[in-house]
Amino acid sequence: MKLVLDHLVVAAADLDSGTRHVADLLGIAPAGGGAHPRMGTHNRVLGMAGGVYLEVIAIDPDAPAPQRPRWFGLDQPALRARLADGPFLAHWAARVAAPDDLSDWQARHPDRIAPAIPMTRGDLRWRLTVPDDGSLPAWREDGQAAGAGLLPTLIQWDVEAYPGVSLPRQPLTLLSLTGTHPRAALLHQGLAWLGADQLITVEQADGPPRLAATIDTAQGTRTLT
């Protein structure tokens, strides 16, 4: 199944700090967005060239705690500890386009793809793969796992005017999405199986996994990490 890069996910302790982080780097602030009651989070968004967009996401302090772990690992101690040092590029999502169907694909491969749960925000409707424990997706083989934000979440929009189409396209162009991981070979297996290996370049490196987006802006090339 061929996938398309849908959006970048910047995690933040709160929306204001995440918005400032992106605006300081790219020269344009994310705006709009809204709440995700099912997950107890909220976001702001920023349209880019080519139908890609950027999302700043944070736990919504005004929302009741959800009945399940929040997505993108936002409840997990390791991610929350990293957020104490400031917002960062935590993850990315790859889009499944009709006539392919994400729910059917997940049902055929439940050991490889997390449940595709239905979500809404305003007029938007979509399905997104989220592990039951809320963690970031990982590829597992022979007792090892690789993910840490580099293996994409899968998304399928169930409306025609999804953010990649409806958001104003700012003068920002994603030039590349890259990452480093201590188990890059295992990650390459997962990316190839998903059909996402052409969307990100991952290299072997010791130390914590890292994700980076190189973006062309009016002020020159910037790297979001």
Q: Quick one: pLDDT band at residue 122, thresholds 50, 70, 90?
A: confident
* Residue 14, beta-bridge partner list: none
* Alpha carbons 44 and 169: distance in angstroms, whole number: 15
Give the pLDDT confidence of 81-115 residue by residue, as tens digits. Answer: 999 999 999 999 999 998 999 999 999 999 999 99
Q: Which of 87, 105, 77 is nearest to 20 (CA)?
A: 87
* Alpha carbons 131 and 134: distance in angstroms, whole number: 5
Asked whether residue 2 carries a pLDDT value surpassing 90, the answer given is no
Give the pLDDT confidence of 188-211 residue by residue, as tens digits. Answer: 999 999 999 999 999 999 999 999
Token pair of 97 as six digits: 């386009």
Residues 141/147/148/150 CA torsion (nearest 10 deg): 160
